[in-house]
Structure 1
Amino acid sequence: MTIVRFALAGAAALACAGAAQAQDFQPKAQGQWMLNVRATQVSPDAGDPIVTAAGVATGLRAEVKDDVMPTIGLTRFLTDNIAVEVIAGTTHHKVKAQGPGTDVVVHETWVLPPVVSLQYHFAPQARVSPYVGAGVNYMIFYSGEDKNGFRVDLDDGFGYALQAGVDIAVQGPWSANLDVKKVFFETDATINGGALKSKVKLDPWVVSAGFGYKF
C-alpha cells in the first residue's frame, strides 16, 4: 500500500504544480486516445473455506496476498463524455492455507486480468474530470508454482468490474490519474487432485495512480 500512497501523493502534487504554473491544458474530446501509465495495487478479498472432496469443512481457508505492479491503460473517446478503456498488466500472488495452527504457502501464480470498461466522463472540458465505468474482465492464471508438497489448479474465467476515477489536467496533453476498480471474480481451486477444494471469491480491489497522455 505504501507504493500506491506514494504514487497518489506524487500525482496530486504534480497536478497542483501544473495548475499553479499554467492554465493551458488539452480537454477531453471525441476521437482522442489517452494512454495512462500507472502504479497499481491488486488486493484480493479472499478467505474462503477449504473443504474435502465430500464437502466436509477442514477448518482452513484460502488466502491470496496483495501485489503492486505497473499497468497500462488505453482509452478511446467515442464522444466527449463516453469512452472505452482497456487495461493490461500482470501481478504475482501467493496463495496460502490458513487456519488454527496453520499458515502455509501452497501455490504462487502470475495473474493477467485484462479489463475492458465503458466509461462516462462527467466534465470533459474541465481541468478536474471525474468518471465512472463498468466492464468485463477475463482472469488468466499462468506460470504457477506449487509449494510445500501441495498441487493446486486454478480455473481461468470471466468476471465483471465497476470503476471510478479522476483525471487532473496538468499541462498540454498531460494529466494525473487516480483510478479504483472493484473486480468481481470467483475461481475454483482444486488441491491435490481434488482431495481438497475451495470456491475462492477473489473480488480484488485494483487501486491505481499514474499519468496520462492524450493524442
Structure 2
Amino acid sequence: MKKRIRVGAVTIGQAPRVDITGDIRPMLAPHIELIEYGALDPFSFEEASTRFAPGEGESVLVSRMRDGRQVTMSEGAVIPLVQDCILRAEKEGAEATVLLCTGKFPEFTHSKLLITPQPILHALVQKLALDKPIGLFVPDASQIAQVEEWFSASGIAFEPVVASPYKEAELMGQRALAFRGKDLAFVLLDCMGYGCGMKEDIYASCQLPVILPRTYIARLLNELFA
C-alpha cells in the first residue's frame, strides 16, 4: 500500500469547494488526500464583499463562498490570507499545496512544493498554441484588462468571452458560439470555477479543444505523487 500523501488545497474563497473537488477527487489516486483551506473562511459573504472589494485599478479575483455565491475581491487584499493558508497546510502535514485559482500571485513563503496554476497554464498554452490565438473564458468583465496584461506578457493572443461559472453555468455553450468557425488553437477556461459539465457544453458548441484547469492540475498531482 502506498504512503498517504496529504495535499493542501487553498481556495481564495471559502472551503469546502465541493464544486471543484467533486470533479477532481474521483480522478486522484486513492492515497492522495486533499485537505481544503479557504482564505475567506473566517468571514461572512457581506464582510468579504465589503472588506476585500477591489478598488479602481486593482487586480480583481473572483471566487465562491461556501453557499455558492460569487465573491469579487482585490488580489492584494487576498494575498496575506492565502499565505496564511499555505503555512497552515504545511504545519498540518501537507507534503504539497495547490492554489485553486488561476490568477497571478507574487512569490509565497513555503517549505514544501507549491503548485501555482497560472505560470504552469501559461507555459502550456504558449507551447501548444503555435502563435495562433486562443479562445478564453473569464468569469467577470472587470478582469479583461488585467488578463490582457498577463497574457500579453506571456506572448499569448486571445479572444475573450465573459461567463461566470458561479452565476451563468447554463450559458457556457451559448457563449462558446462566439468561437465557432474561428481559427483558434483551442479554448482555455481561465478560472478554477469552471467544471467538467461546462467544458463539455463549450466543446459541443464550438468544436474546439478545451483546457480545464482543475482537471489538468489533478492530473499533475497524480503525476507527482501516484
**Looking at both structures, which has the greater relative contact order when contacts are Cα pairs under 8 Å and sequence separation is at least 6?**
1
Quick check: TM above 0.5?
no
Structure number having the greater strand percentage: 1
* Length-normalised TM-score, structure 1: 0.26
* Length-normalised TM-score, structure 2: 0.25
